[in-house]
Amino acid sequence: MPLRLGVNIDHAATLRQARYARDPESALIEPDPVAAALVAEKAGADGITAHLREDRRHIQDRDIFRLKEAIGTKLNLEMGNSADILAIALKVRPHDACLVPENRHEVTTEGGLDCLAHRAALVPTIRQLQEHGIVVSLFIDPEPDQIRAAADLGAEYIELHTGAFANAVGDARPHELQRLIDGAALAGSSGLRINAGHGLNYDNVRELDAVPHLEELNIGHAIMARALFTGLPAAVAAMKILCGAYPDGSRGR
């Protein structure tokens, strides 16, 4: 199975909000994250990812409903575990929901979800999402205890947090890669399906060829940053080629 590319279009909304957050009815509003999603799909994205944050700093509620209507691939909604966001998710019914930790002051998602500490709150959320036909993923660090807890919670997928790997330099780099390799091996043997994301870019993504069982990468910042210079279609297509080089399980990893 080829490695899928989920393109995170949050930063198209970041750019829009930078100018129009205080003037949401303006006829001049741009760019439209839904238009970005459609361009990304046309360039080969296998799915669109968007994070509806509690502070609505980029993606707005309306964007999520419009994305669900407009896109032809699948919508992966990244969401914190709060009642108001859950209510929106149950209305929108994205194909996937990826539960992430959320802290208002973070610039982006920093650590993985703590499935042990928040188990009691996660159980009913996961159940409701699944009852609405939504595939649940838990965004976690490659920690054995977290992986076992995610499996115990009955999530279909985990998304391995690749941020520590992406930021690691020197001796820390092979160490962080090995944590991802070991985490993926444990998750695979625990019956979990595995995505990965955060901090991935055109330089580090091929290092993940060593990590087994990956099905999908969710990548935002690097693609949008490159798109400023090459255009979004070329930026998506270039990342798709890198994903295409991931060793296929059927070729005997």
Out of 98, 147, 155, 211, the residue judged to bind ligand PXP by CB under 6 A: 98
Out of 63, 78, 96, 216, the residue judged to bind ligand PXP by CB under 6 A: 78
Q: Which of residues 38-57 bind ligand PXP (CB under 6 A)?
A: 51
Q: Cis omega before residue 31 (within 30°)? A: yes
Pairing label, strands 4-8, 96-99: unpaired
CB 180 → ligand PXP: shortest distance, Å?
A: 14
Out of 26, 103, 108, 189, the residue judged to bind ligand PXP by CB under 6 A: 108
CB 199 → ligand PXP: shortest distance, Å?
A: 5
Distances (CA, A) of 186 to 63, 65, 143, 183, 208: 36, 36, 10, 5, 16
| 141 sits near ligand PXP (criterion: CB under 6 A) | no
What is the distance, to the nearest Å, from the Cα of residue 170 to the centroid of all Cα atoms in its chain? 27
| 82 sits near ligand PXP (criterion: CB under 6 A) | no
Element containing residue 73 per DSSP (H, E): none
How many Å apart are CA 216 and CA 45, to the nearest integer? 11
CB 205 → ligand PXP: shortest distance, Å?
A: 10
Out of 8, 17, 146, 204, the residue judged to bind ligand PXP by CB under 6 A: 8
Out of 7, 12, 139, 164, the residue judged to bind ligand PXP by CB under 6 A: 139
Out of 159, 165, 187, 214, the residue judged to bind ligand PXP by CB under 6 A: 159
Q: Which of residues 167-226 bind ligand PXP (CB under 6 A)?
A: 197-200, 218-222
Catalytic residue IDs: 51, 78, 198
Are the CB atoms for 157 and 136 separated by under 8 Å? yes
**Which candidate, 107, 68, 105, places its Cα nearest to that of 88?**
68
CB 24 → ligand PXP: shortest distance, Å?
A: 22
Phi, psi of 17 (to 5 degrees): -65, -30
CB 113 → ligand PXP: shortest distance, Å?
A: 9
**CA quadruple 186, 94, 129, 200: dihedral positive or negative?**
positive
| 100 sits near ligand PXP (criterion: CB under 6 A) | yes
* Residue count, binding to ligand PXP (CB under 6 A): 19
Phi-psi region of 85 (alpha: psi -120 to 50; beta: other; left: phi over 0): alpha
> Alpha helix (H) ranges present in 50-136?
61-70, 83-92, 119-131
What residue ranges bind ligand PXP (CB under 6 A)? 8, 10, 51, 78, 98, 100, 108-109, 139, 159, 197-200, 218-222
